[in-house]
């Protein structure tokens, strides 16, 4: 007797692109590698040590929580690697390594494991780790070193090897020793905010300024982000809308008082806006899925970033803007749900 044919019913989508989590995450790592290489070329062995220590800490922390929760090994999905790379890129190049260990552990523990692992985190784990060390170590997180200093591949930045729980050494004498001309110890954002000095746009595009280890070259980050967008590994609308929201907000204030407020191009090229827009705000887990929600989310992050930069006590606002956007994502998705096909509005 022949078997009766079976009918298999599945929900949409019925056509798949063939991309899975591992492939997408691996491509994000590929996109971050040029930024990491430039970071090492710019700041030397201290940047390399920071990158390795933070990333390895994230991997070990991920495996630890796998064991504690009796879960299978999740290191193969590359998510912990991405968290480590992104977190290291947002830290100062001379950040003490033991503080980097703290940042990496907190990123995985509070940013990921606490919520149940990959796909369930409410906020970007790398930014959770960064926010924690900014609150815990405010001096170290705002201590900057010059780019392309002499001997960067032969010696560590003095603060890198600071023993745990000890005060990092001052860098004034060291900066004089490495023969850096006209280094003020401030980032372009700090120079503009507190001294009214605007850094040359080309310097920020090419990455010759002080700043977080992987946030200085806006042009390189833009190219790497476009690579991911071209491979359809991120929603290009999110970074574009973040930049649009920041540019429009900055443009309004610049028109009001160009002597006090920076122009939109400076806002886009300075600080961590490019890295945050292309590699953090676009996180698939923490961003909305509805078309209107994506617009609200992107514009909100750009606007909040500029508001914090111009009127807050901090020079940078990208981290807090993205975390606020992540927190608002469930509400944004809820209020922007499209109407079901054929549904009619309820009569009053």
pLDDT tens for 203-229 read: 999 998 888 999 999 999 999 999 999
How many helices and strands, by DSSP H and E, does the chain display? 14, 0
Percentage of the residues of the chain whose pLDDT score is greater than 90: 67
Q: 218-267 pLDDT, tens per residue?
A: 999 999 999 999 999 999 999 999 999 999 999 999 999 998 999 999 99
Q: What is the pLDDT of residues 32-77, one digit of tens each?
A: 999 999 999 999 999 999 999 999 999 999 999 999 988 888 888 8
- Confidence band (pLDDT; 50, 70, 90) for 298? very high
Per-residue pLDDT at 1 exceeds 70? no
- Phi (first) and psi of residue 315, to 5 degrees: -80, -25
Give residue 22's pLDDT: 87
DSSP letter at 76 equals G
Per the listing, tokens 């914090």 go with 308
pLDDT at residue 201 above 90?
yes
Average pLDDT over residues 5-25: 70
Predicted pLDDT at 179 = 62
Question: Which pLDDT band, with edges at 50, 70 and 90, does 197 fall under?
Answer: confident
The pair phi, psi for residue 240, each rounded to 5°, is -65, -40
Residue-averaged pLDDT of the chain: 90
pLDDT at 177: 73
* Cis status of the peptide bond prior to 27, with omega within 30 of 0: no
Give the model confidence (pLDDT) of 142-174 as tens digits.
989 888 988 899 999 999 999 998 888 878 777
**How far is it, in rounded angstroms, from Cα 242 to Cα 301?**
6
Interval 97-106: pLDDT, tens: 999 999 999 9
Interior angle at CA 289, CA 284 and CA 295, nearest 5: 100
């Amino acid at each position: 007797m022949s078997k009766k044919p079976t009918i298999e019913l599945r929900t949409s989508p019925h056509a798949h692109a063939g991309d899975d989590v591992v492939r997408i995450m691996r491509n994000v790592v590929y996109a971050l590698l040029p930024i990491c290489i430039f970071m090492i070329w710019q700041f030397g062995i201290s940047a390399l040590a920071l990158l390795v220590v933070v990333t390895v800490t994230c991997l070990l922390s991920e495996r630890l929580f796998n064991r504690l929760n009796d879960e299978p090994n999740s290191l193969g999905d590359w998510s912990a690697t991405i968290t480590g790379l992104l977190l290291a890129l947002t830290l100062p190049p001379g950040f003490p390594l033991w503080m980097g260990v703290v940042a990496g552990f907190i990123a995985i523990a509070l940013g990921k494991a606490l919520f149940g692992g990959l796909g369930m985190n409410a906020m970007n784990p790398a930014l959770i780790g960064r926010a924690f060390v900014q609150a815990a170590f405010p001096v170290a997180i705002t201590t900057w070193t010059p780019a392309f200093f002499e001997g960067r591949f032969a010696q560590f930045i003095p603060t890198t090897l600071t023993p745990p729980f000890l005060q990092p050494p001052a860098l004034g004498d060291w900066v004089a020793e490495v023969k850096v001309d006209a280094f003020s110890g401030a980032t372009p954002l700090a120079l503009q905010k507190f001294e009214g000095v605007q850094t040359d746009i080309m310097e920020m595009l090419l990455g010759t300024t002080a700043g977080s280890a992987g946030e200085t070259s806006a042009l390189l980050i833009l190219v790497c982000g476009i690579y991911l967008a071209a491979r359809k590994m991120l929603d290009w609308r999110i970074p574009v809308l973040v930049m649009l929201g920041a540019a429009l907000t900055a443009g309004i204030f610049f028109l009001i008082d160009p002597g006090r407020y920076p122009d939109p191009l400076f806002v886009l090229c300075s600080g961590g806006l490019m890295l945050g827009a292309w590699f953090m705000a676009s996180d698939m887990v923490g961003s909305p899925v509805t078309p209107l929600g994506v617009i609200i989310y992107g514009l909100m992050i750009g606007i909040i970033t500029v508001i914090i930069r111009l009127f807050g006590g901090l020079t940078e606002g990208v981290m807090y803007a993205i975390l606020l956007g992540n927190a608002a994502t469930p509400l944004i998705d809820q209020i922007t749900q499209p109407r079901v096909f054929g549904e009619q509005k309820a009569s009053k």
